[in-house]
Structure 1
Amino acid sequence: MRFTVVMAWFRKDGTDRGSAASDTDVHPLQQVAASDLERALADRQALIQMCLYALDRARSGGVVERLEEGLAAIGVKALRPDGERFDPARHEAGGAVPTDDPALDGIVAETEVTGFADHDRLLRAPIVTVYAKRNS
């Protein structure tokens, strides 16, 4: 498709040669390219969302692993912050586990629902269980 659009633009004067370098009428090609890029990015986002939907419903560990590998190959990383300090800007608290160890207070004990990030953009925060110091 892109090759056809480019060739059509080069032949706009009825010849097979391109326009002169001084021509500034390149906007139609730029608009087509921008439109194609926007469509490709929108399609990518839709496919990522469909993969996340499938992951949430997958019953096979092998299917989950394969979907996560495919997403990772395009920069979408699974987030399982077990052992990290809880950060409400990056994590969603789903529960708490009492602990007597003050060093564990505020640490993610377990990931209940895997989160995902597309490069640096958070798509879905992981839902986690957090250690909370037991009241004495």
Structure 2
Amino acid sequence: MASWFKGKRKHADSDTVQVRAQVIADAVRAGVQHAEQAPPPQHPPSGPLPMLPQQYAEPQPYVEPPAHPEPELENDFRVEPALVSIAPEVYDQAVEERRSLVELALYAHDRARSSGVAERIEAGLAEVGVVALRPDGVDFDPAVHEAGGTAETANAALDGTVAETEVVGFSDRGRVLRPPIVTVYRGRTEPVQEGS
């Protein structure tokens, strides 16, 4: 910023530059004080900037704003700062009600007779972080999948992969609520013929 003022001195006298620099510095300090005293505006101001009150003409020392550590919330949920100040019992009640609603939505999903209704329920659940699990074509992992049956295949590359999802599973922000029940490909074994 100092180089800008030096460059401007060639075209304006130095008194004018110093006055402009003082006005800019005062405006910056006034903005810092004003930000600490009043909440930020919801929308950016339009039109000409308002004149600064006379009280900001004097230089004010800069005061570092206080640091606000992030609260530790259960299940690593990230909550808007405005919601952190609610009472713990209200927060616990909201979390419990959310769990109940998710369970009800899963119950309705399992009994939906229309694929359109099931898709709409899945879309609504996805909006709140509950994702449907359909692991078709991936390697079977007994830690996250439940085997419901097997399907024989002559293709050795498919041995041990998920052929299809019988019952959709769900996870809530990475935590498995219900593992998917899947059919797993199994390589066809040829019977051994004796005496050939």
The answer to whether TM tops 0.5 is yes
Partner-residue secondary structure (3-state), 1:64: helix
Deviation at 1:103, TM superposition (A): 0.6
Query: Which residue of structure 2 aligns with residue 46 of structure 1?
Result: 100
The residue identity in structure 2 corresponding to 1:57 is: R
Regions of 4+ moved over 6 Å: none
Query: Which residue of structure 2 aligns with residue 55 of structure 1?
Result: 109
Separation (CA, whole Å) in 2 of partners of 1:130 and 1:57:
24
User: Which residue, out of 133, 136, 147, partners 1:79?
Assistant: 133
Separation (CA, whole Å) in 2 of partners of 1:107 and 1:62:
28
User: Which residue, out of 115, 123, 136, partners 1:69?
Assistant: 123
Separation (CA, whole Å) in 2 of partners of 1:89 and 1:53:
23
Query: Which residue of structure 2 aligns with residue 17 of structure 1?
Result: none
Is 2:110 aligned against 1:90?
no
Query: Which residue of structure 1 aligns with residue 37 of structure 2?
Result: none
Partner-residue secondary structure (3-state), 1:95: strand
Query: Which residue of structure 1 aligns with residue 172 of structure 2?
Result: 118
Deviation at 1:84, TM superposition (A): 0.4
Separation (CA, whole Å) in 1 of partners of 2:157 and 2:87:
54
Deviation at 1:129, TM superposition (A): 0.2
Separation (CA, whole Å) in 2 of partners of 1:97 and 1:41:
41
Query: Which residue of structure 1 aligns with residue 189 of structure 2?
Result: 135
CA RMSD between the two structures: 1.5
The residue identity in structure 2 corresponding to 1:117 is: S
Partner-residue secondary structure (3-state), 2:156: coil
Deviation at 1:126, TM superposition (A): 0.2
Deviation at 1:62, TM superposition (A): 1.4
The residue identity in structure 2 corresponding to 1:127 is: I
TM-score, scaled relative to structure 1: 0.76
Unaligned runs of 5+ in 1: 1-29
TM-score, scaled relative to structure 2: 0.53
Query: Which residue of structure 2 aligns with residue 7 of structure 1?
Result: none
Number of aligned residue pairs: 107
Is 2:85 aligned against 1:34?
no
Deviation at 1:42, TM superposition (A): 0.4
Bigger proportion of residues as strand: 1
Q: Which aligned pairs between 1:93-108 and structure 2 lie closer than 5 A?
A: 93-108=147-162
Unaligned runs of 5+ in 2: 1-83, 191-196
Separation (CA, whole Å) in 1 of partners of 2:186 and 2:171:
26
Partner-residue secondary structure (3-state), 1:81: coil
Separation (CA, whole Å) in 2 of partners of 1:129 and 1:62:
24
Deviation at 1:100, TM superposition (A): 1.3
Partner-residue secondary structure (3-state), 1:89: coil
